[in-house]
Amino acid sequence: MEGIKRLLSFKLSDLTFGRVSRALLRRVGNIWHLATWYFPFGFSKRNKEKIKQYENIHAGKRCFIVCNGPGLNKINIDLLKNEYTIGMNRIYLMEEQNGFSPTYLFCYDKATQLLQFTEEFDALKLPCFFNWDLNKKFSRKDNQVFLKGKFSPSFSIDPIDDLVGNGKTVTYICMQLAYYMGFSEVYLVGKDHSYNTTVKPTNAIVSDGHDLNHFSPKYYRPGQIWDAPDYHSEELAYKLARKVFEQSGRKIQDASVDGKLDVFEKVDFKELFTENIHS
């Protein structure tokens, strides 16, 4: 139902031939990955057992979802070093930049992230959640867990029985992960929701090596690709996340500095640390 609502809400100018073709190819290619996900034995079974270990592991706690926008450089990142944090994509570049490393890292995008930086992701030692479809590209170490996504944007409260929803942004999947882990308070940081590009949604952008759309100008190397944002689909997904959290007595708030997203209630990042205690 949510997928139909999203389709009906699209602007005709956004429904390009290339976008529709890519969507169809993804669905055909997904058949095998979906079948292997439901195998009741082997690595599929072991992977689901690892996922289960995270269910409500942080019940009642708070966490910060650390996005990758340039606005991330406007906050005092040191304040997050004693907090539970879920980072995404190449957030690990922050460690060299200012010593920050998240509690968990999640990366789902295949073409622009996992396939372009496979060796870097595979070498990470912190708990990582990756896309099930590419599990054979990785060493499957103890710190690596793989989640399977669905094409529907519906919010999943259980990534084993109900695959994680697709909101055209990894941030949305991080919200589902935070919910599954039991966090009752979730705060976004570095979510600028504003990109310097005129490329149509989901079409490829070729990097010139001087990235102004992420926290590091070296986020993408020259010639590498990344997808233009789909603000509309993202916002629809975020509204679903907010609804699910609020219905269960939890909350998501936006602590990003100068962020353009208006789905969640805004909160001053600095005010969250007035007592300087770990929640």
pTM reported for the whole predicted model:
0.89
Q: Is residue 16 part of a domain?
A: yes
Strand order in the sheet with 265-266: 144-147, 128-131, 104-106, 84-88, 62-66, 185-189, 251-254, 265-266
Q: Is residue 100 part of a domain?
A: yes
Residue 7 lies in a domain: yes
Q: Does 279 map to a domain?
A: no
**Alpha-carbon separation of residue 6 from 19, 21, 240 (angstroms):** 15, 17, 12
Q: Cα-flanking dihedrals φ and ψ of residue 88, to 5°?
A: -140, 155
Within-domain flag for 22 = yes
- Asked if the structure places residue 250 within a domain, the reply is yes
Tell me the average pLDDT across 192-211.
Answer: 92
- pLDDT(176) > 70: yes
- 100-102-105 Cα angle (round to 5): 135
Q: Is 278 part of a structural domain of the chain?
A: no
Asked whether the predicted pLDDT for residue 17 surpasses 50, the reply is: no
Can you give the pLDDT at residue 193? 97
Note whether residue 97 is domain-resident.
yes
Q: What is the pLDDT of residue 238?
A: 98
- Say how many domains are in the chain: 1
Q: What is the pLDDT of residues 132-161, one digit of tens each?
A: 999 999 999 999 999 999 999 999 999 999
User: Residue 231 belongs to what domain range?
Assistant: 2-273
Whether the Cβ atoms of residue 74 and residue 187 lie closer than 8 Å to each other = no
Residues 63-115 have pLDDT tens digits of: 999 999 999 999 999 999 999 999 999 999 999 999 999 999 999 999 999 99
Instruction: Quickly tell me which residue has 């190397």 as its tokens.
Output: 221
